[in-house]
Structure 1
Amino acid sequence: MKKNSMEHYVYDHIKTAILSRKLAPGKQLVENKISNTLQVSRTPIRNAIKKLSLEGLVDIIPNKGAFVTSPTKEEIIQAYELRANLEFLAASKAMDSMTEEDFTEIKKSIEEENKVLLNKNSEAYVKSNKSFHVAITEKCNNTFLNEFIVTLINRTNIYLLLYDEFFDNPEQQPYSPDEHTYILNLMEQKNEVELKIALENHFKRAFKSLDIRYNEYKEVDEIF
């Protein structure tokens, strides 16, 4: 197997294990154990871990090692609160520049979001969810504001993939598409007061849906 292929092989295995909630947040990724289990050298393992670190799925701590990202409750709350404030700022600026065509396209993205949620497809959901929010915030025409928001979306999407109980609860119905539709309607009405409240409630609901107690985790050699 070529070097790049081995790196991708390791990367794909670790990422899948994290996103499928088999490796616990905070779990150390021990190179020797991964090497023995996957029968690959340590170089592609290190490169794969670095790539996962850049994506926010792994934390590399000097003199300690690499660990599956494990955000504190306070960090998650801070991220969602900041998102609510920044996205309100962007959305309120975007309202005047959005056209009927923009609103129509965003409504189509909500329909797609509902489909992937009904199929319990978590990775497809975070993509459609990001598309909805970015389609709105990019219309604010503020490059720096958009960069900050995208960074926060990427970070909170990791929290969603790691902890959102929706994807493990067959009885729970999707709520996000309805809330997104309501937010979009308020923007069409240019109702800033209600929009601020709706965004705050939307992100509070997102935080409450996270189940940080999830504990059906395994060891590396049990997974691969």
Structure 2
Amino acid sequence: MSEEQIRPEDYIYKLIKDKIVRKKLFPNSPIVESKLAESTGISRTPIRAAIKRLNYEGIVTIIPNHGAFISNPTLEEIKAVYECKKLLESAAIKLACVNITDEQLERLEELEYQEIEVHKRNDLYRFIKINDEIHMIIASASKNMVYEKYIYELIQKSNVYLIFYDNFMFTSTDESNALKEHREILNALKARDIEDSAKAIERHNQITLDQLSLNGIVL
């Protein structure tokens, strides 16, 4: 283990995620505790704890008496999540156009700048966190607690698909559609344009789905 300050559990957790992002682990790949322990020098207790965390997030599936495997969501599950997310975020942003504060718009501006810098560093985890905050500020600005609750849950599910199937690591900052789409969403919000805001966030969800790939096959 190269990073002395990081907890063993956190190291294994990040190691497995990194291998998925870098396309070294794929859906249905087994996670073998003994091999991880041998290759990292970390005992099985923190390895099991890391696997349980990944299972809770939906990244790993634990099958009793068979072991742990990288999860394998179906195309239908992925499409259903994005379809629901598109509908709810479209409804929420229409309300956000009326209710969003200047402070929230300023924070969105800050986050847009941050995500560009993070994208340049190929830091997917930080990029996902910034993306989460952008979408949740909009959901919160709707002032509809039900929208906010379910949009949060859908974001957590879609994040798993981004880790599995997005080509973030292989896309340059200049070519990132996510960055361009966030700018379009922010511009529409600043203009308080309800129709353009809804169209922009619907387009953003659809393009994100369309660009995911499964074993090299575009969805």
The interval holding the TM-score normalised by the smaller chain is 0.7 to 0.9
Q: Deviation per CA, 1:126-155, whole angstroms, max 9, x where unpaired? A: 122112111111122333322221121122
Q: C-alpha separation between the residues in 2 aligned to 1:171 and 1:121?
A: 12
Note the 1:77-156 alignment, pairs <5 A: 77-156=79-158
Q: C-alpha separation between the residues in 2 aligned to 1:118 and 1:37?
A: 30
Structure 2 SS opposite 1:67: strand
Q: In structure 2, which of residues 17, 20, 36 is the aligned counterpart of residue 18 of structure 1?
A: 20
Q: Residues 27 and 68 of structure 1 are in contact (CA less than 8 Å); yes or no, is this contact kept in structure 2?
A: yes
Q: Residues 166 and 172 of structure 1 are in contact (CA less than 8 Å); yes or no, is this contact kept in structure 2?
A: no
Note the 1:22-33 alignment, pairs <5 A: 22-33=24-35
Q: C-alpha separation between the residues in 2 aligned to 1:68 and 1:94?
A: 37
Q: In structure 1, which of residues 162, 174, 194 is the aligned counterpart of residue 196 of structure 2?
A: 194
Structure 2 SS opposite 1:95: helix
Shift of 1:37: 3.5
* Length-normalised TM-score, structure 2: 0.83
Structure 2 SS opposite 1:70: coil
Q: C-alpha separation between the residues in 2 aligned to 1:175 and 1:123?
A: 18
Q: 2:92 is matched by which residue type in structure 1?
A: A
Shift of 1:83: 0.9
Aligned to 2:3: none
Q: Deviation per CA, 1:64-108, whole angstroms, max 9, x where unpaired? A: 321112222222111111111111122222222212232122122
With CA pairs under 8 Å and 6+ residues apart, which has the higher RCO, 1 or 2? 1
Q: C-alpha separation between the residues in 1 aligned to 2:88 and 2:193?
A: 17
Q: C-alpha separation between the residues in 1 aligned to 2:191 and 2:172?
A: 35
Tell me whether 1:159 sits opposite 2:155 in the alignment: no
Aligned to 2:206: 204
Shift of 1:15: 3.1
Q: CA RMSD in A?
A: 2.6
- In structure 1, list runs of 5 or more residues that go unmatched: 216-224
Q: Residues 89 and 202 of structure 2 are in contact (CA less than 8 Å); yes or no, is this contact kept in structure 1?
A: no
Q: C-alpha separation between the residues in 2 aligned to 1:36 and 1:113?
A: 37
* Length-normalised TM-score, structure 1: 0.81
Q: C-alpha separation between the residues in 2 aligned to 1:192 and 1:165?
A: 31
Q: Residues 84 and 203 of structure 1 are in contact (CA less than 8 Å); yes or no, is this contact kept in structure 2?
A: yes
Judged with a 3 Å threshold, the aligned counterparts in structure 2 of structure 1 residues 212 and 138 are, in CA distance, closer, same or farther, namely same
Structure 1 SS opposite 2:106: helix
Q: Residues 57 and 68 of structure 1 are in contact (CA less than 8 Å); yes or no, is this contact kept in structure 2?
A: yes
- In structure 2, list runs of 5 or more residues that go unmatched: 1-5
Q: 2:97 is matched by which residue type in structure 1?
A: M
Q: Residues 114 and 174 of structure 1 are in contact (CA less than 8 Å); yes or no, is this contact kept in structure 2?
A: no
**What percent identity do the matched residue pairs reach?**
33
Q: Residues 114 and 177 of structure 1 are in contact (CA less than 8 Å); yes or no, is this contact kept in structure 2?
A: yes
Q: C-alpha separation between the residues in 1 aligned to 2:181 and 2:209?
A: 14
Note the 1:60-79 alignment, pairs <5 A: 60-79=62-81
Shift of 1:173: 1.0
Q: Deviation per CA, 1:140-195, whole angstroms, max 9, x where unpaired? A: 23333222211211221222222222422459612222212222232333333333
Q: In structure 2, which of residues 27, 40, 46 is the aligned counterpart of residue 44 of structure 1?
A: 46
